[in-house]
Structure 1
Amino acid sequence: MSEIFLMCSERSGSNLITKIFDAHPNVCGPSPSHLAQIIVPNLWKYGNLKDSWELLSKDTLELFELKNSPWRLTLTEQMVADFAAPGDFPSLLSAIYKKERELHGKQHILLKENQIYSYASYIRRYFPDAKYLYMMRDPRDMASSWKQGYAIRGGVVRAARTWKQDQHGYTAMRHEIGADNVPCFSYESLLQQPQQTLQHACSLLNIDFHPDMLNFHKKQETQSSSSVAIDWRNIGSPLMQNNFNTFEKRLTQDEIKFIEYLCWDEMASLGYTPVFERLSESEFIALEAQLSAVEPYEKPEFMTIPEAERERRGKLHRKITEIRDKPHFIDSKV
């Protein structure tokens, strides 16, 4: 059995590729649990994990319950106690992943946990046999999708900054692992040459390609996931082969110029060609200020999302904020 960790920015096809692999007979791809992404970078705040285990277990349970789409695993306090000794969070994570995989009757699990490069040393230490999958998308299309997403906060400025940071982190992590061992492909190639792209990725993961992967949208759990989150609705449809290079219709020229200046070098390294001549630094600074001044934090369209989803997202946001803002746990023995 092996964990496969996905290296992919938000709004770049991360949920799509997860569900494509979930349709494989030997791979399950559940929705993000947020457990590694949120808890691992904040473990230091819990102090001695044996002393704070009750609190950490409670946070783990609550965070797991607030994920966007249900897993087959229903995590309980007793399971947490059975899965790992007090203080052993790596074993708890591993046991959760293993149990979900077993409930699907599969050998592997593909995990979407955002920005894993920020806690890569932890993952590599405690999951030494894990595999990785890196997928990127044109930052202009990614930012366009981000801008149009109802639930994701911010717009083009935040999206472009995130994309740039992510590509730095993921490419560095990929080279540390060994680039030849990490499948790397673009969202665009997945849409245009899906079978060839997936066959190559599977071969590097030592998994046989299966044609069911191209029929991911027919799976009942994928259909259910597409209906529980407004920004996931496309995963319930077949691959949209022409869903790229749409940014020219959806972004303003100023937005495109901003993205291209900010991501110029990264775009060149990944094969994405700018539309405009590069701005001067002073022009970019003025444009950044202009766009930042009008960028919304929470979009008006968020209020059109079904109330149940808004409530769940609100609870998740509050829980994540609580964990990130948690004061350092004081060891009672000190």
Structure 2
Amino acid sequence: MHEKQPKGSITYRVLRRVLGEVGLTKVWEHISSFYLWNAFPLNGKDPRLFQVVGIPRSGTTLLCSSLDSHSRIICISEPYHQWKHNGFVYAEKILQFDIWKRHPSLLIEQLLKVHKDKMIGFKETYYSESHGHYKNYFFFKKNFEKGIKTIVIVRDPREVWKSLVIMHSEKKGKVPDRFLEAWNDLTEWALRNNIFLIKYESLISNPVYVLQKVCSYLVVEFEFDMLHLRPKLALGDPKALKGGSIVNKSLEFEKFLTKDEILKIERGCFGLMKALGYKPIQLAEQYADEADEN
């Protein structure tokens, strides 16, 4: 493990510092984001390349870490966000040096050349149109259209919001429309295009079955080592990055969310929640109360 975080490229650090000093931080955010998601587009011709996509707190890091524990798979956790935030990507154990300072797409191309016997993939979090300079939905959709293997992982939106509230208590009671937009946009895109989709709840309750399906999609044999996550340096869920086993969890959103939060999520995501088998709680109670009144 590194005792302290490495430094990104000199050019990257100088640009960010200079623009920040002259009050142009927002300019930097938009310029760096545009460059990040549009420069060096990935080539979809290599059947070994894949992407794992999900909104924050939906299990992307867990799935990525599980895949990366396979002997024939390399799955990098958030290389694009690593590069945007730090100016480098952790690359220990996958290349001859510990960090990669150039654009992350070039890292992926390099891995495809160096590791010819392995599947090469990455996971990134999905941000929709309303997320300002964070938006990157178009990146995943372009990759899919090019033929890049795509795995979408979804989670009950009420559980996603609960997880976000636990990590960021200031969010409690304030379900933003962009959260609903992102969950709906990703889920609808996956279902409409028949993209390979797994549910977080299925992954943690029946990991062998789900991971066997994922391996079949990637055309590799399932390995039981995938159930034991290796610790890694990256961006993503800290618990999943520490390594360990896949742990089943029960639904807990009713313990942490207000009735209004639950109701807003159920109203905003009702159609796609129903399609995925997520049953509404507060919405059902509201309809029952209205029926009693009539």
2:54 matches 1:34: no
Conserved? CA contact 1:29–1:111, under 8 Å = yes
Conserved? CA contact 1:25–1:106, under 8 Å = no
Counterpart among 202, 205, 215 of residue 202 in structure 1: 215
After TM superposition, the structure 1 = structure 2 runs for residues 252-271 of structure 1, keeping only pairs within 5 Å, are 252-271=258-277
C-alpha separation in 1, matches of 2:71 and 2:180: 32
**Equivalence for 1:193:** 206
Partner SS, residue 49 of structure 2: strand
Conserved? CA contact 2:50–2:122, under 8 Å = yes
After TM superposition, the structure 1 = structure 2 runs for residues 4-83 of structure 1, keeping only pairs within 5 Å, are 4-34=50-80, 63=84, 65-66=86-87, 70-72=90-92, 74-76=99-101
For normalisation by structure 1, the TM-score amounts to 0.58
Give the letter aligned to residue 84 of structure 2. L
Alpha-carbon RMSD: 3.3
C-alpha separation in 2, matches of 1:240 and 1:159: 29
**Structure 1 stretches of 4+ moved >6 Å:** 102-105
TM superposition shift of 1:156 = 5.8
Partner SS, residue 239 of structure 2: helix
Unaligned runs of 5+ in 1: 36-60, 81-91, 281-334
2:137 matches 1:117: yes
Deviations 1:225-281 (A, max 9, x none): 5xx87x51254332221x23111112122221221122111211111001123569x
Partner SS, residue 228 of structure 2: helix
Q: How many percent identity over aligned positions? A: 24
More strand by share: 2
Conserved? CA contact 2:78–2:124, under 8 Å = yes
Counterpart among 257, 262, 274 of residue 251 in structure 1: 257
C-alpha separation in 2, matches of 1:155 and 1:106: 46
- Number of aligned residue pairs: give it: 226
Q: 1:202 to 1:26 in 2, by over 3 A?
A: same
Give the letter aligned to residue 179 of structure 2. T
Counterpart among 155, 163, 166 of residue 148 in structure 1: 166
**Equivalence for 1:168:** 185
Conserved? CA contact 2:76–2:122, under 8 Å = yes
Between the two structures, name the one with larger relative contact order (CA 8 Å, sep ≥ 6): 1
Unaligned runs of 5+ in 2: 1-45, 127-135, 288-294
C-alpha separation in 2, matches of 1:114 and 1:4: 14
2:119 matches 1:108: yes
Conserved? CA contact 2:175–2:261, under 8 Å = no
For normalisation by structure 2, the TM-score amounts to 0.65
Conserved? CA contact 2:68–2:76, under 8 Å = yes
